Structure 1
Amino acid sequence: MTEPQPTREQLRLEGFELIDDTLAFLIGCLGDALKSLGEEALLPYLPWSGTVPDQHPPEGTQQLYSIGFQLLNMVEERVAAAIRREREKVIGPDSIRGLWPRALRDMTALGLGPKEILEVLADVDVQPVLTAHPTEAKRASVRERHRALYEELVRNEYPKYTDRERHRIRERIVTALETLWRTGEIHLVRPDIFRELRDAIHYLRDLFPSALNRLDLHFTEAWRGAGFPLEMLRAAGNIPRLSFGSWIGGDRDGHPLVTPEVTTKALEMMRRAAFQLLKREVDQTAGQLTLSRQLNEIPDSLERRIDEMTFALGEEEIANDLHDRHHEEPWRHLCGLIAARLQRQVHGKEGYKTPNELDADLELLANGIRGAGCALIDEQIIRPLRQKLDIFGFHLALLDVRQNSEFHDKAISLLLATAGIPEGDSYATWPEEKRLAFLQEELKSPRPFLHDTARIGGEADLVLDTYRVLVKHRAEWGDAGLGALIVSMTRQLSDLLGVFLLAREAGLMEHDAEGSWCALEVVPLFETMDDLDRSPGILGPFLDHPITQRTNAERAGTGKPSQQVMLGYSDSNKDCGILAAQWALHRGQEALTKTGNDHGVKLCFFHGRGGTISRGAGPTHWFMAALPHGAMSGEFRMTEQGETIAQKYANLANATYNLELLLAGAAITTATHRHTEPKADPAEPFLPFLAEKSQQAYQSLLRTEGFIEFYRQATPIDALENSRIGSRPARRTGKKGHSIADLRAIPWVFSWTQARFYLPGWFGVGSALEALQTTTPGEFQALKDALRHSTFLGYVFTNVETNLASANLDLMHEYAALVEDAALRKKFMDLIVAEFHRTRNLLESLYDGHLDARRPRMAKTLAIREAPLKTLHRQQIAILREWRGLVADEKEAEAEAMFPKMLLSINAIASGLRTTG
């Protein structure tokens, strides 16, 4: 369907107007809350309420603007959902890019019928992985207040309320804002891992199940809307597949607080939450299964199962109560017994051994319901419950275990030294040939070096004890809930094979007459540009190894073996800049996909995307469309980090929308890669040159003498290193040195963002384009022509433009004024400002126009934030200057007393920019 342009423009303008009106209403409510709290001095400074006084703003402005931005973010999300609904009504559901109606339409356009589409969907297996990096500054209590506000905002949209009813809603909003004002907004004590895990569990247990209900409904409606038979879809089972993963409590890369005991507790907490989820869902189902034995034929199998479970429950009072209340409603009676059994398991008592046992009881319910002629009850009530059991099981989410290759090397050195292997204590420094020769020979044997009770100390005990936690979990609960063993900074084949050695030592390897295999998948994580370039040469021999082949075959069963490969978007960008990093990732995926195909193995790429564009973020469906042809096998994993979890999933409408983008995007991308011939990207011939030149410019800046000194003074990196934002240290080694290499990519990006440079997201691109234009002007015009048809470069340049638009030259200069050496300041600002103008001007030349005209929605969201943000930035600069003075004068107590103000400043700016690291 061709979209009428005036209608799209009309809807956009309607959206802008709705943002302004809704924001004005909420800011009015915030003003009422301030009056009630006795904060009248802040009233003239209410954002978006007229002219703000020029004089120095009073104490409390940071909190005022932070809450103002939180309200604006809420309004934008709500208006986006409203305009999507309106667009669906006016133009049609398939007008919305990235959602199921459009995806099914596009698959049909590829010549696929329902049978072929189902074959594609059967392979689609998408898994968002929740991680807790130091980027989520808000406390859970604040997010609870946000949810209350959002719910009132939704209620206020109902057009038929009376004035009295609207007045009540407004009063509830004012009350919620009063509470929010008096709720401590930030962590003054660094949150521990379990608080981060509890936050993630909230999304997994309390929010995603409801989103899955809607998501399933959207897909079913789109399937029917495309004219496809529902019976075919139901016969295919739970496809496409969506499940969830987590790193919280398993990711120990540079995080010394993630101990084996923490991993044990993380698995227990998620299992308990899974039983809570299932118990709640079964309770809700029971309330709807009120079919009477007087009006329906009751299967004997149902009666028998009620008797068996009543006896097995072992709690006479509960069993008698269920019998007295629900004997006349046998399906409800059985549901009540199932819920009682799950409640026991919430408290760690015996119950169902496996999800299959529980599903057998649900199947008994479903068969009886269908037998009574109530197919719709099964379709709409029992089937969604069974789907959630399939997705969440008794584990809630897969827990990956990640560790750095250097840490493994130290563990193996200790192990070999304790076992008396000659030169074993220097294993970490052995040349690769020696390491491989040793590992190849040693892995032929199933026996460990030491007894399983032996204590080695140091890194060896930490790795082996963690693996033993996984062994114990497998013995009690099977493999469900256990993800992969991920090796960060994978640089050579021995980094992967060494994990098999450690797994064997801990009892995580299985053995039979035909050989050995690892109980869990071992996954390389390629992070730096050099590692990405070398990755096919590492993956190929790894796939050839007998243990890898057996491991993948055991996991695949009768299907095609698959291998997960993780790609790091953070370190590659920090290493070489955005354009070279994106090209290295693109090229790496192409080469790795070919390696997988050559070995008869499909690859599941795990994209370690961060919350900012510099670290791989960007619209999900655009990201998928820009993947190299063939790189999407159907299996797809992606990290969801820090504040992006709340941004995408904090409310039901947004959570459903973002999950649908993921699932439908994976489906159409898989279909396109499978059923179309690869097309050469017309921009590809220019990319090696552009990537090389941008990398040279980026690295030249970082290597210029004095850069570290400039960076540490012109950005709040020192404040971030002292912050309490997340449980994890800002540096991999924990040292507060002056090494960019040791600094994590998250605070690297966060610091440039807070100072409004956004430097990692654009620096080097202008130099690359200028080099092309200067050396071969005709090639620049050819690039301009090719850009219109290049999904990859279009995606990258769109993201670069977003970063440029978010940067602010005036504020860059104001932050740079914190650099004490005037000559150093001028040297670096001249370089940065020149590259900024160069990049912006050349991109405008390529696109024939200014960004504001081409992307009015983004221009609107940036413009509305700028005035209050400037106030916050100027306050932060003053706070930084004063705090650094106290630190320099060694006035530690006074500096520490100032720090809450600094944290509030960081948090307020992060709210305004909607991004951290």
Structure 2
Amino acid sequence: MIHDKRAEKFRQIVENKFQIYNSLFMSLPYDKMTNIGMLLPFLCEESKIGYDQGKTPVEIVEEFFKNHTDLESEEQKLELLFKIIQYIERQVVLFDSIEDAAFPGLHSESDSGTVTNLYERSFHDHKLEKVREKLKDFSIKVVFTAHPTQFYPNSVQRILHDLRNAITNDSITNIDTLLQQLGKTPFVNKEKPTPIDEAMSIIYYLRYVYYDTIGELFTKIKSIFNNDHFHLHEDLIQLGFWPGGDRDGNPFVTAEVTKRVAEELHSAILKAYYNHLKSVRRRLSFRGVSDVLTKLSNELYAAIFRNEKMTADQIVNRIEEAEKILTEQHNSLFIEVLYDFKDRVKIFGTHFATLDVRQDSRIHQKVIDEVFVKVTGDINASNEDKFNKLIQISESVNPDDFEDIVRDTLLTVCQVSEIQQLNGLRGMNRYIISNSDAVKDVMNVYAFFKICGYKDEEINMDIVPLFETMEGLANSENVMNELYQNPIYKKHLERRGNQQTIMLGFSDGTKDGGYLKANWEIYKAKEVLTKLSEENGIKVIFFDGRGGPPARGGGKTHDFYASQGKTIANNKIELTIQGQTITSIFGNKEQAKYNFEQLLTAGVENDVFKNSKKDLTEKERALIIELAEISYQKYSDLKAHPMFVPYLQEMSTLEYYGKTNIGSRPSKRGGGNELKFEDLRAIPFVGSWSQLKQNVPGFFGFGFAMQQMKEQGRFEEVRELYKGSDFFKTLVLNSMMSMNKTYFPLTYYIKDNPKFGAFWNILFDEYSLSKDIMLELTGFKLLQQEDPISRKSVKIRERIVLPLLSIQQYALMKIQKGEGNKEAYEKLVTRSLFGNINASRNSA
């Protein structure tokens, strides 16, 4: 019943508003775009009917030209298609803004997963003390990455922000002028953004969304769960930051860039305090108090504009000075205003967000090899000998004695202590190693600190292995076991409070092992590492590298974390968010607050409310292992198919990702022209399947595995698993979300292609099988039936971009056939990537 009410409300405040405001587009004075609004519905209709009849994108677009325009030359036709793309891109922005503005109307304070709901539940179940206990040392951390899954330049982001406010207030005049601005604002970066640009883009969110959101949420939790002996620790909700620190595969991130980003974060938080202080001073105008606050304002100003040193403790001391006068002389009037300000300073320090360093283990090995030869002259030592000997050397090396990546890696390590002095220890405190699969990968980083002159007790950094391939995950237990026994590392962990963060990579895991296998291997690795860490007296924290869509480990985040049982350590929830997930899930205060709450309560609920559906029985575990193995085999066969990489290269947009200028990082690893599967980055890989509307990594092999069970007469076992395990249920629902965003009719034409027809049919057969069997399993009539709002949103978005997909496929077919202006058609493919990706933002 609630589902129906919400779906109806969505229709009223999203669908209807979109129809009304969309009509404004038609009368806007866009350059040469006057008739587009009239023509677009025709292309949309031609596409829908045409694909149902099995027509090719070329036939559909050519018929559109013939039936609805009098254009003759290729040049005129191309110009019209570019204009249509621009028009649709702006429709997507409008829909995003309307949906964002509707968020508070579609969600309430007491929804499942909110802090209010958690309080009510725990009050009724007499679990309030248990919740307070859990909140004492639990925390969540959201880490922003610069991974390129978002295609709005900053100027468009700002319009989106203003448009959302205008829509909230139903201000037609403002909406009209903002749509005009949108019509004349370019959607494309002329050049690739630099890592600094990427950092500044996310710092905007820190200042204008998260500073208030997290501060207000902290105050809310404090007041809801408050009692005499309860203290809420300020690290409850933390922010992490990768732009400018993540150099994995990004040659543009240098030591200099990292230092500059650390300075920008420092400056941004001081500016946020300076602005906040203005409103504090407006209330606290009393004798004595205002003098102290004026002094603090001047000190912040000097720190921002004259680079005078300022620590968080200094700011807190000043606030407490004002607090004392306020209590003793002015009846504590407006004291909560000061408390709120002090909480913010304790939460954000002088760092705002923790800047992580990340690099690939293979680069580290290259650095160690070069340094070792230079220091010892020995060219035959084993990898283990190298790090052990370098850890023992008493003389530090000079980074300037080396070149390129070796010099830069050492400079990065050398400046860690400088950044920690500026931003505090919370400003930078961990080094993440991609592609970790051996002890040396962690110990090499420890050796870097030693050869850069740090004494053991001065290494205030957590060293974090990232296990992301099937091999890495399988090996993770041996690696961590050996590390926990290593005397040098053991001492390091003692100095770090016997706490170890381990990162697990969902994106590359899914690319490598397929959807079900990757999720199961990560679940299993977490269980094994939890047990191992507990046996060694280590508090383990899992940091999940999750993307937006289910194919990259995303999907419904609250459900995912709430489904993990007591066999997995639940000391902290940490995950990456990126691109469209930042704007769609954490893009404004209401959404950010709601989603921070969902993460926090998922972790708390797991410990406080017992639920048998969270813990797997031996029987359930055995069945998941069986399903995972069958699906992995099916996915591995697909990967090994000789047409797998050629299909992506020739029939998808894979080759065009690098031309979009949306991220500073190259779109594939390694040099050379020949494309190898292992060089593919997870984002272009998953994105290319998404552009084809096939979303293969989100379901392939899953349906086949269940079908095998059915053929063995064991489907009832799978049904019991779905009903009895939250973990399995979440995987099924997320996979169905992936399938709901597919549209195979778009590529029906490939089924007769002499080169790729057989391969396309393998994909289509598995999709049809997976869809049918999952509907049978869940008892649903439709994919995503359990989430009507998301379903409706997806439907509208898919309708908006259907003409865009037709144009993209049309251009790809022209390129394949070698017809017409190749350069223009390539540009058409690249441009249509933007709207398609932006429109699929509701993927997490």
Amino acid paired to 1:185: F
Q: Say if 2:59 is the partner of 1:122.
A: no
- Match runs of 1:370-381 below 5 Å: 370-372=327-329, 374-375=331-332, 377-379=334-336, 381=337
Residue 107 of structure 2: SS of its match in structure 1? helix
Q: For structure 1, which segment, 25-34 or 529-538, has the greater mean C-alpha deviation from structure 2 after superposition?
A: 25-34
- Match runs of 1:437-586 below 5 Å: 439-440=387-388, 443=391, 445=392, 447-448=394-395, 450-452=396-398, 455-475=401-421, 478-511=424-457, 518-556=459-497, 561-586=498-523
Counterparts of 2:789 and 2:420, CA distance in 1: 50
Which of 408, 413, 424 is the equivalent residue of 2:369? 413
Residue 677 of structure 2: SS of its match in structure 1? coil
Q: For structure 1, which segment, 76-85 or 534-543, has the greater mean C-alpha deviation from structure 2 after superposition?
A: 76-85
Counterparts of 1:221 and 1:807, CA distance in 2: 45
Which of 369, 373, 376 is the equivalent residue of 2:326? 369
Distance change >3 Å, CA 205–CA 862, structure 1 → 2 = closer
Q: For structure 1, which segment, 184-193 or 561-570, has the greater mean C-alpha deviation from structure 2 after superposition?
A: 184-193
- Match runs of 1:74-153 below 5 Å: 74-85=97-108, 93=110, 96-108=111-123, 111-114=126-129, 116-153=130-167
Work out the percentage of aligned pairs sharing the same amino acid.
Answer: 23
Residue 541 of structure 2: SS of its match in structure 1? strand
Amino acid paired to 2:221: F
Distance change >3 Å, CA 683–CA 17, structure 1 → 2 = farther
Counterparts of 2:816 and 2:306, CA distance in 1: 51
Match of 1:862 in 2: 794
Counterparts of 2:42 and 2:613, CA distance in 1: 50
Counterparts of 1:720 and 1:182, CA distance in 2: 25
1:407-447: CA deviations, max 9, x gaps? 111111101110124225xx6xx4xxxx335544653x362
Q: Is the 8 A contact 1:484 1:523 kept in 2?
A: yes
Q: Is the 8 A contact 1:69 1:912 kept in 2?
A: yes
Q: Say if 2:714 is the partner of 1:784.
A: no
Q: What's the RMSD between the two structures over aligned residues?
A: 2.7
Counterparts of 1:231 and 1:388, CA distance in 2: 22
Which of 811, 822, 829 is the equivalent residue of 1:902? 829
Structure with higher Rg: it is 1
Which of 344, 352, 375 is the equivalent residue of 1:388? 344
Counterparts of 1:45 and 1:222, CA distance in 2: 55
Amino acid paired to 1:723: T
Shift of 1:281: 1.4
Shift of 1:390: 1.4
Distance change >3 Å, CA 438–CA 868, structure 1 → 2 = closer
Match of 1:30 in 2: 25
1:588-636: CA deviations, max 9, x gaps? 1000100111111111111000122111111221011122424243322
Match of 1:606 in 2: 543
Counterparts of 1:857 and 1:129, CA distance in 2: 27
Shift of 1:707: 2.1
Amino acid paired to 2:268: A
Q: Say if 2:831 is the partner of 1:808.
A: no
Q: Is the 8 A contact 2:652 2:691 kept in 1?
A: yes
Shift of 1:369: 2.0
Unaligned runs of 5+ in 1: 1-5, 157-168, 224-228, 294-329, 512-516
Amino acid paired to 1:334: V
Counterparts of 1:643 and 1:374, CA distance in 2: 48
1:131-182: CA deviations, max 9, x gaps? 10122211000010111111111112xxxxxxxxxxxx21111000000111
Match of 1:398 in 2: 354
Match of 2:214 in 1: 212
Match of 1:43 in 2: 37
Counterparts of 1:62 and 1:265, CA distance in 2: 37
Distance change >3 Å, CA 493–CA 217, structure 1 → 2 = same
Residue 683 of structure 1: SS of its match in structure 2? helix
The TM-score with structure 2 as length reference comes to 0.91
Q: Say if 2:709 is the partner of 1:772.
A: yes
Shift of 1:21: 2.0
Counterparts of 2:468 and 2:843, CA distance in 1: 21
Amino acid paired to 2:89: S
Residue 456 of structure 2: SS of its match in structure 1? strand
Amino acid paired to 1:387: D
Counterparts of 2:629 and 2:118, CA distance in 1: 36
Amino acid paired to 2:806: R
Distance change >3 Å, CA 591–CA 7, structure 1 → 2 = closer
Q: Is the 8 A contact 1:110 1:675 kept in 2?
A: no
Amino acid paired to 2:35: A
Distance change >3 Å, CA 883–CA 137, structure 1 → 2 = farther
The TM-score with structure 1 as length reference comes to 0.84
1:655-675: CA deviations, max 9, x gaps? 211222222222223435899
Counterparts of 1:895 and 1:576, CA distance in 2: 36
Q: Say if 2:667 is the partner of 1:730.
A: yes
Q: Is the 8 A contact 2:28 2:34 kept in 1?
A: no
Amino acid paired to 2:698: G
Counterparts of 1:840 and 1:812, CA distance in 2: 18
Distance change >3 Å, CA 98–CA 812, structure 1 → 2 = farther
Q: Say if 2:264 is the partner of 1:269.
A: yes
Q: Is the 8 A contact 1:564 1:603 kept in 2?
A: yes
1:808-855: CA deviations, max 9, x gaps? 1101324x37xxx93222110121111111111111111123225444
Unaligned runs of 5+ in 2: 48-62, 69-79
Q: Is the 8 A contact 2:614 2:727 kept in 1?
A: no
Q: Say if 2:803 is the partner of 1:794.
A: no
Q: Is the 8 A contact 2:245 2:357 kept in 1?
A: yes
Q: For structure 1, which segment, 212-221 or 786-795, has the greater mean C-alpha deviation from structure 2 after superposition?
A: 212-221
Shift of 1:878: 2.0
Distance change >3 Å, CA 547–CA 422, structure 1 → 2 = same
Amino acid paired to 2:651: A
Shift of 1:220: 4.5
Counterparts of 1:677 and 1:453, CA distance in 2: 50
Distance change >3 Å, CA 735–CA 627, structure 1 → 2 = farther
Shift of 1:530: 1.8
Match of 1:836 in 2: 767
Counterparts of 2:705 and 2:227, CA distance in 1: 52
Residue 480 of structure 1: SS of its match in structure 2? helix
Residue 203 of structure 1: SS of its match in structure 2? helix
Q: How many residues align?
A: 814
Shift of 1:185: 0.8
Q: Say if 2:789 is the partner of 1:877.
A: no
Q: For structure 1, which segment, 22-31 or 529-538, has the greater mean C-alpha deviation from structure 2 after superposition?
A: 22-31
Q: Say if 2:757 is the partner of 1:826.
A: yes
Q: Is the 8 A contact 1:121 1:240 kept in 2?
A: no
Counterparts of 2:294 and 2:774, CA distance in 1: 63
Match of 1:73 in 2: 96
Q: Say if 2:307 is the partner of 1:346.
A: no
Q: Is the 8 A contact 1:98 1:665 kept in 2?
A: yes
Amino acid paired to 1:366: E
Residue 122 of structure 1: SS of its match in structure 2? helix
Distance change >3 Å, CA 402–CA 360, structure 1 → 2 = same
Amino acid paired to 2:278: D
